Amino acid sequence: MIDLREVETRLREVYDPELGLNVIDLGLIYRMEEPEEGRLVIEMTMTTPGCPAHETLIEAVEWAAARAFGVAEVDVRVVWNPPWTPERMSPEARRVLGWM
């Protein structure tokens, strides 16, 4: 069984290169589940559809999640619904960006 808390901890190591904040605090990770043993499905989004770091972020999320105990396979899916908004960010991320 995959420990989703450990996956989240690992994903905190993945930073958006433009904003300098991790994908968890930015609110880019919408859902994580283990539909079958060892298989992790992550639904994430980007701050904009034209995000230049799109592929880099997907690969980094895949790599970080695969390092968690029990993960044999990672399936990262980019979704656009609901659209990302700054309200999805953690209070710390909003403070760092000066949005509080």
Distance CA 12, CA 21 (A): 9
Number of domains observed in the structure of the chain: 1
Task: Say which CATH number the domain at 89 has.
Answer: 3.30.300.130
Q: Strands of the chain (E only): list them.
A: 29-36, 39-44, 73-78
Can you give the pLDDT at residue 50? 85
How confident is the model over 78-91, as pLDDT tens digits? 999 999 999 999 99
**Domain range for residue 81?**
4-96
Q: What is the pLDDT of residues 5-17, one digit of tens each?
A: 999 999 999 999 9
Q: How would you label 65-88 residue by residue, b for 16+ Cβ within 10 Å and e otherwise?
A: beebeebeebebebeeeeebeeeb
The model scores a pTM over 0.85: yes
